[in-house]
Amino acid sequence: MFEKHPADVVTLLCHYRTGNWNAARTFLTTTIGDRYDADWQVWLAACASGACAAPARGLR
């Protein structure tokens, strides 16, 4: 999510950091919803085959 959808992550974090829980929930349920489900399945399959063993870029 961080690598492929940074703007959505920033928006969500801004809502949480300011204590705007309702906006965060609305953003999660109406804007993000299930549109990243396919990305999740691809990432999960890659992880299961060993692709998640290396640390993410920028986190070293």
User: Would you say residue 17 lies in a domain?
Assistant: yes
What is the average per-residue pLDDT within 3-28?
95
| Closest to 4 in 3D by CA, of 38, 48, 31, 54 | 38
Quote the number of domains for the chain: 1
What is the average per-residue pLDDT within 1-25?
94
User: Would you say residue 58 lies in a domain?
Assistant: no
User: Would you say residue 56 lies in a domain?
Assistant: no
Which residues span the domain enclosing 36? 6-48
Question: What is this structure's pTM?
Answer: 0.68
User: Would you say residue 60 lies in a domain?
Assistant: no
DSSP annotation of 3: T
Give the pLDDT confidence score for residue 4 in this predicted structure: 86
What's the chain's length in residues?
60
